[in-house]
Amino acid sequence: MKKWQLNNKNIWIMLVLISGVLKSQTSTAPIVHQDKSKLLLARDSSLFLKLYQKMDEMQEGKKDRIYIAQMGGSHTQGGLWAEQLMNGFQGLGNYTGGGIYVFPFKIVRSNTPSFYRSFGIGKWKRCRSAISKELCNNLGVSGMAAITNDSVSSFGFKLLATSNPKSFNSLKVYHNFNSNFKMSLMDSTLKYQQIDFRENGYSEFVFENEIDSVLFKVLRLDTLQRDFVLRGMSAENRNRGFYYATLGVNGASTSSFLRCTEFQNDLKAIPPDMVIFCLGVNDTHDMNFTKERFIANYDSLVNQIKKVSPDCAFLFVTTTDNYIRRKTPNKRPIKAAEAAYELAEKHKGAVYDLYAVMGGYKSIYKWYRAGYASRDKVHFSGKGYRIIGTMMFDAIRRNYNYHSKLKK
């Protein structure tokens, strides 16, 4: 009996050890190349050093706001990647302030980022910079617009528990100023002041108290009207913190935001201190893709942003490995990665080589088999996006800590 108990114990220990080995094989270690997860600054790193100085000043209480924009396609619109970055930046100083950029995707039948909920009623039409047949003349920084001719419609959003900040007292609503429509708040108990900035293309609502949700009504006043066009919203509060603009459009490529006629005008209200570029997957799905055109499009985007924010720091994230139509491994991200390094040198920026972190060519298949990517071998699972976002922010944090005067 005693011998049986001893053997049973040994068997139990062996099972635990085997379980540990199997678990390690399904962990991120064999798939994610963590040694490649680092921020690589250009030889002239002056713009990033200025950004880090601003981050130091905010931690010292000398500065209240730093603006960051993440521009991309569906990887960005989904919000999980951005959520990890947003919470990481806010965690640097346990900040509760700053703000976020919001678009009511629900009313145009598209997916809303993970950290807020959008809603509304009425007949809305989608206008999207990524698709030529959905293009219109009034697109702004979000690359998307919601258009209505309805007699009565509404739009709104609510910040969720995963949002940081979780409340706001100021809201900029980007829209066309059409006298045939009246936009007003549905909640008559809210105390606020409305200021219209017609030349800048937005109305600002300053609330007496902080709130976490809002709903607007749009009333058509005349049957001989044209469209009411909504381009997005910027929610901010009084407390110190990072403002994070998630500017993602499903299907967007580097050329998409260049079609937005109000891009610079909208950006003036949220002048970025840093832009994280995550565009490239849709470019590399174009059979006519060339590295030269890819660089030229990025140059044009950077130059537009510099006109608004001359000291902006640019982080170029290399294009993720992907398959075309689920079956064909895509080699074009290799050239897109080369372009990212050239762009970083040209614009005094930095590179986060996500392509290398993933494992390079055909690596998305391994991520899919491990449960970190979707069946289409383009997008990631929720866990995959969280891994990317967490690792990427950790690389930014380490680089900041190395260059920070505060030397954490």
Of 24-33, 51-60, 293-302, least confident by mean pLDDT is: 24-33
Q: Show Cβ contacts of residue 59 under 8 Å, excluding neighbours closer than 6 positions.
A: 92, 93, 406
SS3 343: helix
The whole-chain average pLDDT of the chain stands at: 92
pLDDT above 70: residue 5: no
Helix, strand, or coil here: 15? helix
Helix (H) or strand (E) holding 153: strand 152-159
Contact 287, 245 (CB under 8 A): no
- Quote the pTM value: 0.91
Inter-residue contact 184 to 219 (CB < 8 Å): yes
Residue 407: the pLDDT is 67
Instruction: Kindly list the structural domains of the chain, giving each domain's residue range(s) and its CATH number in brackets, ordered by start.
Output: 32-98+240-408 (3.40.50.1110), 101-238 (2.60.120.260)
Higher-pLDDT residue of 9, 334: 334
Q: How confident is the model at residue 226 (pLDDT cuts 50, 70, 90)?
A: confident
* Res. 389 pLDDT band, cuts 50 70 90: very high
Which residues in 166-205 are b (16+ Cβ under 10 Å) and which e? Answer: ebbbbbbbbbbebeebebebeeeeeebeeeeeeeebbbbb
Q: How far apart are CA 146 and CA 175, in angstroms?
A: 9
* Higher per-residue confidence, 30 vs 355: 355
Q: Which helix (H) or strand (E) holds 119?
A: strand 116-119
Tokens of 376: 């289409």
Task: Please give the share of the chain, as a percent, with pLDDT higher than 70.
Answer: 92
- The DSSP code sequence of 54-110 is HHHHHHTTS--EEEEEEEESHHHHT-HHHHHHHHHHHHTTT---SEEEE--GGGGT-
pLDDT band per the 50, 70, 90 thresholds, residue 134: confident
d(Cα 224, Cα 226) in Å, to the nearest integer?
Answer: 7
Outline where 277-408 has alpha helix (H): 281-284, 291-308, 332-346, 354-358, 363-369, 382-403
Q: How many CA atoms lie within 13 A of 284 on its CB side?
A: 27
Which of 400, 355, 394, 349 has the alpha carbon at shortest distance from 41? 349
What is the spatial distance between Cα 319 and Cα 131, in angstroms, rounded to a whole number? 20
What are the tokens at 279?
């565009």
DSSP string, 155-175: EEEEE-TT-SS--EEEEEEEE
pLDDT of residue 112 exceeding 80: yes
pLDDT of residue 408: 59
131 — pLDDT class (breaks 50, 70, 90): confident
Provide the pLDDT for residue 13.
38
- Place 2 in a pLDDT band, splitting at 50, 70 and 90: very low
Given this model, what pLDDT does residue 332 score?
A: 98
For the segment 268-288, the average pLDDT, to the nearest whole number, is: 97
